[in-house]
Structure formats: C-alpha cells, structure tokens
C-alpha cells in the first residue's frame, strides 16, 4: 500500500512540476523536506499521530518549511495532510526522485569502498558506468571498513560485488560445497 500511495502522489507532484516547468526546484524542496523528516524522529511521530489535528500539522510544517520550500510544495504537503497520508511523505519523496531521475536520464549509484575514493577514481567509475548505461551517473561513496578492498556497487535494485570480502565468501562457499 505504501508504495502505491507513494507512486500516486509522487506522479501527481511530478506532473505538476512538469506543467509549471519547476521540476528541479520541486526535487530540491522534496529532498530538503525528506532530510529534515528523516533526522527528526519527533517530527515523524507528530505527523503520524492521529490525535494531532490537521491544522496543527499544517502550522507545524509551515513554521518549519515556509522559508525553505516553494508555496506549491507547501500546498502539496497540505493536501497530503488533508488526505491523511502524512505517514507516506518519505515514500512519496523516494518515488518522486525516481520519476525525476527517469525523466532526466539519471542513474544514482552508491559505491561502497573500504576507504574514501579519490576524485580520479570517482571520475573513472562515473565514466565507465555512464558508457555502459548511457545515463548520467550520480555517484555516492559510502565507506565500510569490513569489505577489505575493492568496490561494491549498488545500482537501483542490483548489487555488483567486486570486493575482496565477496570473493573470499565465494571461495568459502566453493570449499564448503566441495566433496572429497
């Protein structure tokens, strides 16, 4: 249900952004709202609380976001509150970013490495991925000391494991599965 609600509202917002020629601004606004909501657990609880009135929730969002986001996005948040869908704001945001990326031929990739990648390595990886996918690559680098070395790529719903840890696990499976 959450995914369906998220898609429906995200599509409505996306179409409004297209009509108003304001997609980029909408994406920035939605991302900043998402960042605040993800960081503030109390805000999430307040938005989801059934005994807090719609007007109080709207006033709260206005006080937090009035200076940060466009009036159209604030109005969109009000509609979400009026329809009692405030628990789906993060899902809506995620789906909106997907639609935005599809529309602009953007692919978000997370490269998990043992140490921070330098700019030269990032540029090389972006070039390789861009050539293979024919899309503009937005690369995020996450650090995980447990992978020992190599890189683990997270592309949409796929994971490409080029890490030493992954290779060692494959060898371990092969050894355990071998019959003598």
Full set of structural domains in the chain with CATH? 2-102 (1.10.520.20), 106-177 (3.40.30)
Tally of CB atoms within 10 A around 151:
17
Cα 36 to Cα 169: distance, rounded to the nearest angstrom: 38
pLDDT by residue for the chain (180 residues), tens only, comes to 667 888 999 999 999 999 999 999 999 999 999 999 999 999 989 998 999 999 999 999 999 999 999 999 999 999 999 999 988 999 999 999 999 999 999 999 999 998 999 999 999 999 999 999 999 999 999 999 888 888 889 988 888 888 888 788 888 888 887 666
Cα 39 to Cα 49: distance, rounded to the nearest angstrom: 17
């Amino acid at each position: 249900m959450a995914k369906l609600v998220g898609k429906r509202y995200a599509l409505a917002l996306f179409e409004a952004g297209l009509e108003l020629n304001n997609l980029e601004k909408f994406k920035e606004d939605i991302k900043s709202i998402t960042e605040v909501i993800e960081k503030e657990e109390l805000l999430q609880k307040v938005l989801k609380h059934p005994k807090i009135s719609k007007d109080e929730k709207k006033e709260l969002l206005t006080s937090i976001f009035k200076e940060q986001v466009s009036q159209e996005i604030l109005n969109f948040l009000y509609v979400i509150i009026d329809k009692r869908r405030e628990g789906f704001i993060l899902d809506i945001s995620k789906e909106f970013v997907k639609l935005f990326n599809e529309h602009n031929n953007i692919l978000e990739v997370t490269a998990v490495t043992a140490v921070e990648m330098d700019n030269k390595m990032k540029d090389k990886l972006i070039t390789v991925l861009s050539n293979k996918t024919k899309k503009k690559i937005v690369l995020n680098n996450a650090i995980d000391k447990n992978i020992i070395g190599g890189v683990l790529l997270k592309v949409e719903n796929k994971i490409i494991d080029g890490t030493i840890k992954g290779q060692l696990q494959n060898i371990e499976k092969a050894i355990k599965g071998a019959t003598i």
